[in-house]
């Protein structure tokens, strides 16, 4: 699967978390057929998870509508959106092929402390705050149906919204404020994490590992010395795991690893006593 901007980097950290929009899908882009052909896609080095049943998060065609998308995460540097709009053209009161009027449309990021930031996301390749129409040819990153099957009719765009990584994002709001015809569709959202979001836990011997590790970010565990007769019991309690990597430097026996999904986010991450365990953040 080829994309127009597949290999062009533009200053990302390389740490990502694909937001789960499963419970937020409210529409289907029926007329466009099969878009991607695969659930996991990468555009401009940013990974996304799309829905193969052609489900989208979309506002209604006419009249204002706000759509809330819960996040509950901190350490987010920026948010990437895959999407496009419909009826975003001059006959409907917008610019030719796009909307750049914050009185018509915007995205609001709500933080846990009650503050919020509202603006139109920036089109990554057009380098301005705007949301493009489905037919706009300028700046697209993906077009479908696939070339060679039927004429491509839809142009997908990549947008970026910078956030405050020191605060927890409670939810995102897609805000369609226009009384006349306009529609805004989102296929997928990926959070770019700060480098501090990755936690590395190292132990020289398996018996030095803590009984339980409570985390809320990416975890990497490395055990450098192993004795086969020593059993390893590692319990991982987590609310949301962005990535998990456990490395054993020698073949071992008697390894038991259990991962439990808890309903609530851990209130705090306990710091193990040194020098038994060395933690790098």
Q: Summarize pLDDT for 8-67 with one digit per residue, the tens.
A: 546 777 788 999 888 888 887 654 445 666 688 888 889 998 887 778 899 999 889 999
Q: Is the pLDDT of residue 239 over 50?
A: no
Q: Average the pLDDT over 119-127 and give the result.
A: 94
**Measured distance CA(165)–CA(167) in Å, rounded:** 5
Q: Average the pLDDT over 214-229 and give the result.
A: 52
Q: Is the pLDDT of residue 278 over 60?
A: no
User: pLDDT digits over 109-119, tens only?
Assistant: 999 999 999 99
Q: Average the pLDDT over 126-143 and give the result.
A: 91
Percent of the chain's residues with pLDDT above 90: 40
Q: Cα torsion at 82, 86, 91, 93 (round to 10°)?
A: -60
Rounded to two decimals, the pTM is 0.68
**Domains of the chain with bracketed CATH:** 16-193 (2.60.120), 196-280 (no CATH)
Q: Residue 245 has what pLDDT?
A: 57
What DSSP line would sit under the chain, residue for residue? ---TTTT---S--S-EEE---GGG--EE-GGG----SSSEEEETTEEEE--TT-EEEE--SBS-EEEEEEEEE--EEEEEEEEEEES-SGGGTSBTTEE--TTTEEEEEEETTS-EEEEPPEETTTTEE-EEBTT--TT-SEEESPTTTS---EEEEEEEEE--TTS-EEEEEEEE--SSB-EEEEEEEEEEEPGGGEEEEEESSGGGS-SEEEESSEEEEEE----TTS-EEEEEEES--S-EEEEESS--SSEEEEEEE-SS--S--PPPPTTTSEEE-
**Closest by Cα among 120, 36, 50 to 85:** 120
Q: Residue 153 has what pLDDT?
A: 75
């Amino acid at each position: 699967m080829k994309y127009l901007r597949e290999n062009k980097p533009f200053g990302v950290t390389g740490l990502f978390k694909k937001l789960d929009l499963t419970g937020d899908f409210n529409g289907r882009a029926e007329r466009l057929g099969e878009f991607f052909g695969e659930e996991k896609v990468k555009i401009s080095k940013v990974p996304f998870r799309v829905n193969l049943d052609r489900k989208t998060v979309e506002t209604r065609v006419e009249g204002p509508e706000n759509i809330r998308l819960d996040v509950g995460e901190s350490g987010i540097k920026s948010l990437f959106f895959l999407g496009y709009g419909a009826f975003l053209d001059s006959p409907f009161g917008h610019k030719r092929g796009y909307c750049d009027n914050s009185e018509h449309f915007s995205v609001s990021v709500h933080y846990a402390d009650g503050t919020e930031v509202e603006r139109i996301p920036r089109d990554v390749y057009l380098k301005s705050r705007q949301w493009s129409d489905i037919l706009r040819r300028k700046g697209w990153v993906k077009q479908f149906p696939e070339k060679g099957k039927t004429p491509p009719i839809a142009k997908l765009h990549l947008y970026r919204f910078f956030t405050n990584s020191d605060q927890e994002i409670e939810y995102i709001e897609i805000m369609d404020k226009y009384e006349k015809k306009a529609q805004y569709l989102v296929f997928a959202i990926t959070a770019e994490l700060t480098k501090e979001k990755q936690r590395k836990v190292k132990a020289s011997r398996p018996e030095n590992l803590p009984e339980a590790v409570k985390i809320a970010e990416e975890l990497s565990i490395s055990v450098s010395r192993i004795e086969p007769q020593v059993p390893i019991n590692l319990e991982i309690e987590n609310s949301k795991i962005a990535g998990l990597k456990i490395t054993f430097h020698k073949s071992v026996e008697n390894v038991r690893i259990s991962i439990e999904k808890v309903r609530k986010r851990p209130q705090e991450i306990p710091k193990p006593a040194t020098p038994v365990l060395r933690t790098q953040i």
